[in-house]
Amino acid sequence: MTDDSTFRGRLVVGYDGSDSSSQAARWAAGEARARGRELIVLYVLLPPTSSGGFGVGLPPSLDLLAQLEDSARAEVEAAVEQLRVDVPGVRVTPVLTVGSPSSALLDASRSADLVVVGSRGHGGFTGLLLGSVGAQVAAHAECPVVVIRQPAPSGASSIVVGIDGSPAAEAALRFAFDEASRHGWSIQAVHAWDVPAYDLIIVPNGPVPVPLSNVADDEVRLTSEILAGFRDDYPDVEVIENLVRAPAVMALLDASKGAAMVVVGSHGHGPAIGALLGSVSHGLVHRATLPVVVVPPDHEPETAA
């Protein structure tokens, strides 16, 4: 059993012994060291159930549960020892709990600085992420969630961030600038936009209600206004503005080639200019080949301890 104090201000990585979760743990350890934070390696044991009469699931025996806990504890402690060798200087603590992986990670997100998950796992984390656990965590976490599909390219030194003027996109920008300043990286701010769709079947010869030049001008102005305050707060971060008329997922994937990570808000304005978890964020965690960070609205990065 854990409480908020276990995770408060720390980084948390979901671990289950799979290659994907081991890769996520290595990334998280490096990030924890850069932030001067402790890393919690969280192993959530989901006990198996057996079918009884009338299809009722029966809990495992106490002896079997004890054996599973001992095995899981040995596995996570070995993983922690290896992390301490691979990433010297990082503080790493194993935590083993029994229950639902998604619930445990969401509980951790209430007080953690960052939650990290691999793209796929096994055991308690089956299908993580692109299954139900990862989707729930990315959609409902109260802190930023990093999905590690593949490591970033060696020497990558830029962050791609999607912006649209929504509170979640502003939180994503704040995370991206803080991360870029911490690592000495640059930022590529991508504002993908498109004109609304009009029903030309109903009004086949009617004019387009909004001139494209006006829409483009408005998007340029919005992008500059959004970035102005962050440039002032982070004068050490180089910023490249990228205004693209294209679907947001496509624009972000194209821009992220060779980047260290891509950052998006969990919810945005909508498919025309924004990031909804079911569209943009969801598309990125399924298709990006580098770490994807999903940031909830109103997230404020903490300074390193």
269-288 pLDDT, tens per residue?
444 333 334 478 888 888 88
Q: Report the mean per-residue pLDDT for the chain.
A: 81
Where do the CATH 3.40.50.620 domains begin and end in the chain?
Answer: 4-148, 158-295
How far apart (Å, rounded) are the C-alpha atoms in residues 1 and 103?
Answer: 12
Distance CA 35, CA 232 (A): 22
- Alpha carbon distance 247, 252 (integer Å): 9
CATH architecture of the domain with residue range 158-295: 3-Layer(aba) Sandwich (3.40)
pLDDT of the residue at 279: 73
Q: For residue range 208-261, list pLDDT tens digits in order.
A: 555 555 555 666 677 778 888 899 999 999 999 988 888 889 999 999 999 999
| Pairing between β-strand 114-118 and β-strand 292-295 as defined by DSSP bridges | unpaired
Helix (H, G, I), strand (E, B) or coil at 58: strand
Q: Band of the pLDDT at 297, cuts 50, 70, 90?
A: confident
The answer, yes or no, to whether residue 104 has pLDDT greater than 90, is yes
Confidence of residue 305 (pLDDT cuts 50, 70, 90): very low
pTM: 0.82
pLDDT score of 71 more than 60 = yes
Which residue has better confidence, 216 or 170? 170
Q: Give me the mean pLDDT over the 153-182 stretch.
A: 91
Separation between Cα atoms, residue 168 and residue 286, nearest integer Å: 20
* Residue 40 clears pLDDT 90, i.e. is over it: yes
Weakest mean pLDDT among 106-110, 123-127, 210-214, 236-240: 123-127
Strands (DSSP E) contained in the chain are: 11-15, 38-45, 50-51, 57-58, 91-98, 114-118, 145-148, 158-162, 186-193, 239-245, 261-265, 292-295
Exposed/middle/buried for residue 41 (C-beta within 10 Å: 0-12, 13-18, 19+): buried
Q: 267 CB contacts (<8 Å, ≥6 apart)?
A: 166, 168, 274, 275, 276, 277, 297
Pairing of strands 261-265, 292-295: parallel
Task: Tell me if 275 sits within 8 A of 173, measured CB to CB.
Answer: no
pLDDT at 205 over 80: no
- Mean pLDDT: which of 60-64, 139-143, 193-197, 200-204 is highest? 139-143
| 168: number of Cβ within 10 Å | 26
CA 193 to CA 282: how far, in whole Å?
Answer: 18
Task: Check: CB of residue 243 under 8 Å from CB of residue 219.
Answer: yes
- For domain 4-148, give its CATH number from 3.40.50.1100, 3.30.450.40, 3.40.50.620, 3.40.50.300: 3.40.50.620
Q: Is the pLDDT of residue 299 over 80?
A: no
- C-alpha distances out from residue 116 to 46, 93, 143, 247, 300, Å: 19, 15, 10, 27, 17
The number of CA neighbours under 13 Å toward the Cβ of 67 is 6
d(CA 298, CA 301): 10
pLDDT for position 58: 60
d(CA 39, CA 295): 19
